Amino acid sequence: MLHFFEPNNISLQISDFEIISESASQRSKSIKLLNHKLLGKILVINGEIQHIEAWAPLYHESLVHIPASFIPKVKTVLIIGGGSFFAANEIFKYKSIEKVVMVDYDNAVISLISANYSHPKQILTDERFSLVIEDVKSFLKKSNERFDLIINDALDLLEAPVNSFELLASKLSDHGICCDLVYRHIYESDRSNRTVSLLRKKFHTAFSLVTVPEYPGIMHLLSMWSKSPALKQSADKVKNEIQKKWAKYPAQSKCVSYDPRFLRYYLYLPPYLKTYIKNI
């Protein structure tokens, strides 16, 4: 079980960190897995913190369950990146799942996580799960599959070719939804503005303010886009059948942070974001 810890109780002395593993690959010059007595395992790639175990639910529960709340039955899922397996772990909370494809480019990270965490073992042996070690763009160009949910946990879509948002959307089922955490924090308004502008021109959209303590700025914008009009910022009740059961019996969700009874809370945008989103 992962737990949250109050910042005042966390000692960030160097002596509190233990190096579990250090390695490198053709893709990543430096891969380090550390352990902290309160924060748990910490993955650092090329000098950047990728995740802190104790805080993982804050990001991954939002990344998966907010977009899933708009889809009555999530059956097929594509995860782009996701080498920590935390997103896949959240996905398999849905009994409706028939197929999950995770595409990641760095087998060294996959091997490191698989060897040092308990949750990947069950995922990797699940017959509904497929792991593809390949460049994501190559995979997307040749794949003819359609997915109910596409989670981008790797590509910076604004830095990729202009059609990246459309390329992902072309892989959606009729009621499918794509989601992506805007790479920079919300106070870099130009990037948030460009993302919102690109998406609202062609898709139905919704946005959520997400806390990611590991990343600079802490507050980030989760963007969701779809061809389905079911996706809307003003939604107040979840459409997902399993989340409806969680709302009735919260203990069934096994979520630490996400609660489907409060969808409006997750879709609330503060004035700073609401103003320019309305103006676009």
Select which of 104, 106, 148, 153 is catalytic.
Answer: 153
Residue showing tokens 């009009």: 229
CA neighbor of 140 nearest in space, from 185, 178, 109: 178
Instruction: Answer for the pair 103, 136: CB distance below 8 angstroms, yes or no.
Output: yes
In single-letter form, the type of residue at position 198 comes to L
Is residue 153 part of the annotated active site? The answer reads yes
Cα distances (Å, whole numbers) of residue 55 to 21, 44, 105, 109, 257: 20, 14, 24, 19, 10
CA distance 219 to 236: 22
Which tokens belong to 100? 């999950």
The DSSP output letter for 147 is: E
Q: What are the tokens at 36?
A: 């902290």
> What is the Cα gyration radius of the chain?
18
Contact between 267 and 233 under an 8 Å Cβ cutoff? The reply is yes
Closest alpha carbon to 199 in 176, 225, 174: 225
Do residues 43 and 53 lie in contact, with contact meaning Cβ atoms separated by under 8 Å?
Answer: no
Catalytic residues: 153
